[in-house]
Structure 1
Amino acid sequence: MSCPFNEEQLLQLQAFVELCKTQPQIIHHPKLAFFKDYLVSLGVTLPAATFGTKHFTASGDGATNENQAAENDSSEEESEPESDVELNMEGVIEGDPIDNDQIMGDQTKEPTDEDRDLSDEKRTEAMKAFAEQQYEKAIKLYTEAIELNPQSALLFAKRGQVYLKLNKPNACIKDCTRALELNCDSAAAYKFRGRAYRLLGKFEEASHDLCESLKIDYDDQANEWLNDVKPNAEKLRQHKLTVQRKKEEKEHREKLRRLRKAQEARSNAAKAQAQAHAQAPPSGMPGAGGFSSHDFASLFMDPEIMTAFQDPEVMNALQDCSVNPANFVKYQNNPKIAAAIQKLQAKLGKGGSMPFGGGFPPGFGGAGGRGAAGPDDDVGLD
C-alpha cells in the first residue's frame, strides 16, 4: 500500500507528533476534538488539560492493558484533584444569621385604602431616616409600613436596601426575594439582592441578579456592581465547564472500557466453546459408545491408532459405520480400514463388539466371522 501523503505532509505530521510529546495538553484544543475522540476510541489514556510535559500511553489488547488503563485513570484522578478556583474575595463578609422571626407581614391581608395611605406615610418617614443614616429607625418604619401593606414589593425592596447598609445580606436577600414574588419586574429587588449575594461571596448569583436588574432598568451603580463581580463569576463558570468536561470524558472512557470488557468476554467464551468442541471425540469415534475413560485414554497413547485417526479416509469410514453398522460391508475390501478396526478391537478387548451401537458383519470377526482382516489377508474372497 502506497503512502497517501507527500514528503511535506509527512514532515508536518512528524512536527505535530513532536508537539504532542512536549505539550500533550494541545490534544484538548477544541479544533483537535476529532483527533482526541479517535485516540479515546483506541483506548488511549489522555493527559488532563492542566498537565505539563507528560506523555500519554495507549493501552493494548488484553486484560492486563485494560487493568493498567483503569489504574492510570484512578491514579490520575487521585493525584490531580480539582483545584479550587482562585477568586478575589475582597469585600466578602461572613454574613448575618438568618432571622426566622423577620417580620414579613400577613401575606393574606388585603390592605384597605386607609392602610395604603398610612403605609405611604411610614415609607416617607423611613426614607427620611435612611437619608439621615438612621438605619435602625428606617428598618422600624419600613416594618410598620409592611404590616399595613404587605402586598407592596417596593417596601420589601427598600427595607432590603437598609439591611445592606447594616451588613445584613441574608436579611436583604429574604426581603428582596419576597419583593420579586410580589413583582417579578422589580429592578430594585434584583439590584439589592445581587449586591447582597456579592457580599456573601456568591458571585454567580450576584452576576445573574445584577444583569436582570440592568435589563429591567439601567442603573449606573448596578452596572458598577456587575463589573465588580464579573471576573469571579466568569472564573466559576469556566471551572464548572471544566468539571463537566472531565466528567463526560470519564464517563466516555468508562463506556469504552465496558464495551471492550464485554467484547473480551464474548471472545473468551467463543474460544472456550471452540476448544471444548475440538477436544470432544467426533461422532463415531471410540468414546461415543459408553466405554470407560481409561479405554479412551489408552487409544490416544497408541501411535498406530493416532496415525489411523489422522487419516481422513479411516475417520470417514468409522463415522459412516457409526451411523449404520451394516455399512462395514462397504469397507471390508479396504486393507487400511480393516487393519485400523482390527487394532481397535485388540486395544479395547471387546471380543469383536465395537462401541458404535452394533457389532461387525461377517468378514470382520467378532460376530461369527473369521476375525478382523489384516493387511495381508485376502479380504472378501471366501
Structure 2
Amino acid sequence: MDDSKIHELKLFVESCQSDPSILHNPSLGFFKTFLQSLGAKIPPASTPGAENGHTSNEDIVESDLELDDSDVVKPDDDPPQKMGDLSIEVSDESRDLAQSLKSKAIEAISEGNLDEAIDHLTEAITLNPSSAILYATRASVYVKQKKPNAAIRDADAALKINADSAKGYKTRGMARAMLGHWEDAAHDLGLASNLDHDEEIGSTLKKIEPNVHKIREHRRKYERLRKEKKVRATEHAKQKTKAETEDVKASTQTYGEVVSICKASELETRLTASSKSNQLAILYFTATWCGPCRFMAPLYTSLASKYPKVVFLKIDIDEASDVAAKWSISSVPTFFFTKNGKEIDKVVGADKSSLENKLAKYAS
C-alpha cells in the first residue's frame, strides 16, 4: 500500500476515534462487521439531538424505523477461530485426509454434534488451508451455532480464496442477517442466489427483504427532507442577502443627488445613517400636482450638488402618505432640517431664499 493510501486510512481511523457513530453508516457495514469479527466493541449509534433532549425530524434517526429484529442475535465475542496457513504446500495425502475429516464433520452436523463438526473442520483447514469449501462449511456450522462473527470470518476467508463461492456468500449473508445488517445480508444472499440458488437462500431473502425495503424508503425520505431543507436554507440565504443589499443601498448616501423615499422604513434607514455620520438631512415633501413644488424642484436639485455632504431626501406625499402623516404635512412644499434624528428647523412654502439661507447656516 502506498504512503498516500496509508495516510488516508490514518485520517479515516482518526475520524472514527473522534466520532464512532460514523461506523453506523450503512455504507460502512462491511467495515463494521470486520471490526466486530475481530472482537471490537462498537459504541451504539447516538440519536441526533439526544444531547439536547430532542430529536431533529430532518436527520436520519432509527427511532422512527420499525424493523423486524426478532431473529437478531447478540454478536459473539469469542477469540478468532484457528485459520490455515495459505503459504504451506498441500500434499495429496493432506488433501485426502482433509476430505475425510470434512465427511466426518458432515456426519457430526447431521447428528447435531456441532462442536465436534467444528473440530473436524478446523483440523481439515489446517491440513488444506487453500480449500474455500472447508471455510464455507465451517462458516455454516457457526451460523447454526448462532455465532455470526465467526461465520463471517470464515466466509471472508472462503471468498478470498474463491470469489465465486456461493456458499461463502450464503453463509456470510445469513450471518449478517443475524447481526441485523439487512442491506449487506441481502447483497450477499442475492449474489449467492445468482451463483447457486436454494430454498434456504430464498426463504431468508423473503424474510429480510421487508426490512431492506423499509430502510431504503427511510433513507429516501430523509434524503428528500435534507434536500428540501437545503433548498429552504438556500432560499433563506438569498432573501437575507437581498434584504441586506437593500438595507446597504438604502443606508448609503448618494452624495450630490436627491434620494426619493417611497416608504417609512427607507426614511428611517436614511435618517439613522445620517445620524451615525453626523450629517445634516433635509426632507423635502412634495406632490406632482403642486405648482410651487415644481418651482422649487430645480433649486433643490442644484443645492444637492452644491452641498454633497448633506443628505437630500424627497418624499411624494401621495406615494408615501404614511410618512406625510407621521410628519404632519398640511401643505407642500415643506422642507425639514434634521440632525442626529431631530428636527432643527423647517421651511414651509416656495421660499427659495429662506431655504438657501438656512441650508448655508446648518451645513457649515
TM-score class, shorter:
0.5 to 0.7
Match of 1:252 among 231, 247, 266: 231
Distance change in 2, residues 1:248/1:314 (3 Å): closer
Q: Which residue of 1 aligns with 2:126?
A: 147
Q: Tell me the distance in 2 between the aligned counterparts of 1:345 and 1:189.
A: 100
Q: In 1, Cα distance between the equivalents of 2:58 and 2:249?
A: 40
Query: Is the CA contact 2:256–2:305 (under 8 Å) kept in the aligned structure 1?
Result: no
Deviates more, 1:230-239 or 1:271-280: 271-280
341 and 97 in structure 1: CA distance in 2 versus 1, 3 angstrom threshold: same
Following superposition, the deviation at residue 176 of structure 1 comes to 0.7
- Is this contact kept in 2: 1:308–1:340, CA < 8 A? no
Q: Residue 64 of structure 2 corresponds to which residue in structure 1?
A: 84
Matched, 1:93 2:73: yes
Conservation of the 8 A alpha-carbon contact between 1:309 and 1:315: no
Q: Which residue number corresponds to residue 266 of structure 1?
A: 245
TM-score (norm 1): 0.53
Percent identical residues: 32
Alignment correspondent of 2:17: none
Higher relative contact order (Cα pairs below 8 Å, separated by 6+ residues) = 2
Structure 2: give runs of 5+ residues left out of the alignment: 1-53, 260-278, 284-291, 308-350
By how many angstroms is 1:227 displaced?
Answer: 1.0
Q: Match for 1:114 among 89, 93, 96?
A: 93
Structure 2 residue aligned with 1:311, among 291, 296, 299?
A: 296
Shift of the 277–257 alpha-carbon distance from structure 1 to 2, 3 Å rule, reads farther
The structure in which a higher percent of residues are strand is: 2
Q: Which runs of 5+ in 1 are unaligned?
A: 1-75, 281-295, 301-306, 323-338, 350-354, 356-382
Q: Which has the larger radius of gyration?
A: 1
Q: How far off is 1:298 after superposition?
A: 12
Contact 1:308 1:314 (C-alpha < 8 Å) held by counterparts: no
Would the aligned equivalents of 2:169 and 2:189 in 1 still touch at CA under 8 Å?
yes
Deviations 1:226-257, CA, capped at 9 Å, x for gaps = 11111122112211111211111111211111
- C-alpha deviation, 1:161, in angstroms: 0.8
Which whole-Å deviations, capped at 9, do the CAs of 1:272-295 have from their partners, x for residues lacking one? 125676589xxxxxxxxxxxxxxx
1:165 and 2:165 are equivalent in the alignment: no
How far residue 111 of structure 1 moved from its aligned partner, in angstroms, is 2.4
CA shift for structure 1 position 341: 7.5
May I ask how many residue pairs the two structures share in their alignment? Answer: 238
Distance 1:308 1:193 in 2: 90
Pairwise CA distance, 1:109: 3.0
> Would the alpha carbon gap of residues 277 and 228 (structure 1) be closer, same or farther in structure 2, given more than 3 Å must change?
farther
